[in-house]
Amino acid sequence: MPSKPRNLGPVVSSEGKFGVFTLPHAPAKIAYHFYETPERDLPVIMLSNALCANFKALWKEFVEHFRDSYSIIVYDQRFHGESPLSKGYDYYGKGLTFEELADDAAAILDHLGIARIHAFIGLSMGATTALVFKARHSARVGKIVAAASGLKSAPPGAEDVFEARIKVATGEPDGMAKLAPMTLERWFPGEPGRRFLDMHPGRKDELLAMLRDAHVEGFVACIRALQNFDLTGSLESIKEREDSKDVLLVVGEMDGALPEVNKSMAKISDASLAIIPESGHIMNVQKAGEFNALVDKFITP
């Protein structure tokens, strides 16, 4: 049975607003948390998550660093975290697209009555969402920081690592729990990654719990987006509109093939590129100081 949202409307507290609302263009609900300080009228930034992540765990260091300078929107993609499952969706068959995920982000802004945000910062799948958002909704956002995005899904005939993960998640008891430590190892690779996790056991446990508790339905639905995307058109559109100056690509030096992929993305879009040394995929956690400094410099009005 689909899980139910904790709240049907925004809940106002000293920590801002938490709410769950129904998307106008899909049979699904989205959960968000809006850290705002209305009396200060701060610029608004939005954060978008990686696969299997939720806003409670992924952006803790970032929110702590930026919340005095910006109003911050964090949210859970469809069927992730606090965003509940939906009876009206074929999770395993249809899947999602990044166009849909970008339009979900626009719907959050509509729901909050926000015409334009100062910046959209995304990580991994969220970075791809941010770039598609810039291409589809350019007038609604100023700066884009895309951290650890890919350029396109694997070509036909290439080994599909995502399909193997889907088989584990859907075909084995406690499949998400089995995937969790393997995902964390990919996120924090090599000796620097192991050293970080050893030095921060509480953060390691929190991230493992986040991965174990992820809805398998959301995992599959969003993997379908990762199996069928190509950012080339979006990046070319950003360049043609002369929006390149507003886009920063960020990647960890140790994040597999992504440093070279992001170099190609920078060439296509004319966007700026920053590579964080000795960092893996989840650079906003592993190298929070360096990542926050890059973002701070890039988005400062």
Tokens (6 digits) for 254: 């140790």
pLDDT in tens, the chain (301 residues): 333 333 345 555 557 789 999 999 999 999 999 998 887 889 999 999 999 999 999 999 999 999 999 999 999 999 999 999 998 899 988 999 999 999 999 999 999 999 999 999 999 999 999 999 999 999 999 999 999 999 999 766 556 788 999 999 999 889 999 999 999 999 999 999 999 999 999 999 999 999 999 999 999 999 999 999 999 999 999 999 999 999 999 999 999 999 999 999 999 999 999 999 999 999 999 999 999 999 999 999 8
238: helix, strand or coil:
helix
Tokens (6 digits) for 257: 């093939």
Q: What residue type is assigned to position 173 of the chain?
A: P
Q: What residue has token string 């993305």?
A: 265
> What local confidence, expressed as pLDDT, does residue 301 receive?
83
CA separation for the pair 246, 237 (Å, rounded): 13
> What local confidence, expressed as pLDDT, does residue 88 receive?
87
Residues 6+ away with beta carbon under 8 Å from 177: 212
> Would you say 145 and 160 are in contact if contact means Cβ atoms under 8 Å apart?
no
CA separation for the pair 189, 293 (Å, rounded): 22
Domains of the chain by start residue, with CATH: 11-299 (3.40.50.1820)
> What local confidence, expressed as pLDDT, does residue 39 receive?
77
Go through the chain and tell me how many residues it has: 301
CA separation for the pair 11, 167 (Å, rounded): 38
> What local confidence, expressed as pLDDT, does residue 3 receive?
36
CA separation for the pair 132, 124 (Å, rounded): 13
142 DSSP assignment: E
Strand runs (DSSP E) across the chain, as ranges?
A: 11-13, 16-22, 29-35, 44-48, 71-76, 117-123, 141-147, 247-252, 272-276
